[in-house]
Structure formats: structure tokens, C-alpha cells
């Protein structure tokens, strides 16, 4: 594009490039786990949530519902529907979800804001009831689930996504105990994804900027307060 000055034509001055702030430059230069680089939604989840140690029971119940809903689907689908799940499932209050009746289940199956799979929707109610039983027995679900590692986050030091397993002996043990207690959609692969997301296992690659940050968060949080121990593994 040109603009006229008097009789002569001169090229328009190039538009000034927006200056990037130091924070923006740092964000662009950060090395992340490769799996999160495909979409901004994944990057935000990776940078803010994945691997941060969870200790709030309602958050644990949310993760159980969402990880179960993901079975056979992409995690992006679930992240895009998370707001719909929070609305539909009473902000993941297990006491309320445990009281859902057949009429409520029929309404959920008509809700486009969630994955309308009959078994998955029904499992949220079943899991809410099992969740409350664990709370009654252990004082909190948090004490129960962290008991499998004696309250310690496992700090892996992997350098490649190819070295991250789909399941481990730990996830096998947790899965078996959850299934014994009546939980649904808690196979070992689903459980391992849950343990990674909730910070019981730090599977950020050592080349990822979040590996050190998540480890520091785990050290600062410490172990849950003493309660009844989780069942022994093996």
C-alpha cells in the first residue's frame, strides 16, 4: 500500500511490530511436554493444572468423573465440555450426585454439554456413592488415594514421551482397589492418567519447565494428615 505526499509517491512506512513483553517471550521459549503443543487449550491445561498435587476431595471427584468420561475419547473433548459437566453435575458435589435418580439421569442424557453415554453418566452416580463410603472410612478420599504412596509424590525423570507407560504396578493396585469398592470406569490406564494429572506421579519430562515447578509444589504441600492407611499394594 502507498500513500501520496504532494506529487511524489513514497512507500508507506512499515507498521511497527508489537513489542513482546518479557513474560510473553519467556512463555514462547519455554520447553514443554510435546503432547500439549497441539492446541492452546492443551498448553493452558499443561501449564496450570497437569501434575499439580490435588488434596481437595471435590476436585478428586471431578477428576474421577472426567477421566471416566474420557474413555475412548480425546482429552480435548472433555476439556471443552468441562464447564458443561460442572453445571450438569452440581459442581461435582458427590453428596448431590449420589442422590441422582432415574429422572435426573434421563435429563443428563439429553444434555449436549456432556458426553451422553448412558454407562458413563450412570457411573458418575455409582462412583459418587462409592466415594462417600471411602470418605466415611478414611476421613477423606484424599487420605485414601495418597496412602498408596505414603503421601509422597513420585518424581519421575523421563526425557521422552515414549518412555512414559500407559499403566504401572501402582495404577494396577489403585485400580483393583477402586473396582473392589464398586467404582466404575477405573481401569489401570484411566487410573494412571488420573495419578499423573493429580500429581501423585510427576510425569512432566525433565526437559519441561513444569517438572521442577510441580516437584516444588509437591514438596511444599507435604503429605495429607495422618488417617487410616490405604490397603497395601501387592
Structural domains of the chain sorted by starting position, each given as residue range(s) with its CATH number in brackets = 35-43+51-221 (1.10.340.30)
Q: What confidence score (pLDDT) does residue 90 get?
A: 98
Q: What is the arithmetic mean of pLDDT over 15-40?
A: 69
Q: Could you tell me the pTM of the whole model?
A: 0.84
More confident residue, 1 or 69: 69
Q: Are 108 and 99 in contact (CB under 8 A)?
A: no
Confidence grade of residue 101 (pLDDT, cut at 50, 70, 90): very high
pLDDT digit string (tens) for 119-150?
A: 999 999 999 999 999 999 999 999 999 999 99
Q: What confidence score (pLDDT) does residue 28 get?
A: 54
d(CA 140, CA 177): 16
Q: Which of 221, 225, 223, 230 is nearest to 52 (CA)?
A: 221
More confident residue, 202 or 26: 202
Q: What confidence score (pLDDT) does residue 221 get?
A: 81
- % the chain with pLDDT above 70: 82
Q: What confidence score (pLDDT) does residue 186 get?
A: 98
Is it the case that residue 155 has pLDDT exceeding 70? yes
Q: Which of 89, 82, 50, 65 is nearest to 186 (CA)?
A: 65
Amino acid at each position: 500500500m502507498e500513500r501520496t505526499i504532494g506529487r511524489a509517491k513514497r512507500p508507506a512506512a512499515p507498521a511497527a511490530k508489537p513489542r513482546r513483553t518479557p513474560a510473553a517471550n519467556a512463555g514462547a521459549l519455554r520447553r514443554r511436554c510435546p503432547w500439549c503443543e497441539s492446541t492452546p487449550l492443551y498448553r493452558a491445561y499443561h501449564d496450570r493444572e497437569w501434575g499439580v498435587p490435588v488434596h481437595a476431595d471435590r476436585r478428586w471427584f471431578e477428576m474421577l468423573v472426567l477421566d471416566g468420561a474420557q474413555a475412548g475419547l480425546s482429552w480435548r473433548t472433555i476439556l471443552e465440555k468441562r464447564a458443561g459437566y460442572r453445571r450438569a453435575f452440581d459442581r461435582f458435589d458427590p453428596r448431590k450426585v449420589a442422590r441422582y435418580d432415574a429422572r435426573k439421569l434421563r435429563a443428563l442424557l439429553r444434555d449436549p454439554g456432556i458426553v451422553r453415554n448412558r454407562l458413563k453418566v450412570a457411573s458418575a452416580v455409582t462412583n459418587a456413592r462409592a466415594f462417600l463410603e471411602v470418605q466415611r472410612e478414611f476421613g477423606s478420599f484424599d487420605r485414601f488415594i495418597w496412602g498408596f504412596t505414603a503421601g509422597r509424590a513420585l518424581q519421575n525423570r523421563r526425557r521422552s514421551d515414549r518412555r512414559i507407560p500407559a499403566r504401572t504396578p501402582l495404577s494396577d493396585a489403585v485400580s483393583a482397589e477402586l473396582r473392589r469398592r464398586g467404582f466404575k470406569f477405573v481401569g489401570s490406564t484411566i487410573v494412571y492418567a488420573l495419578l499423573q494429572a493429580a500429581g501423585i506421579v510427576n510425569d512432566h519430562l525433565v526437559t519441561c519447565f513444569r517438572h521442577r515447578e510441580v516437584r516444588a509444589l509437591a514438596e511444599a504441600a507435604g503429605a495429607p494428615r495422618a488417617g487410616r492407611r490405604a490397603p497395601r499394594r501387592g
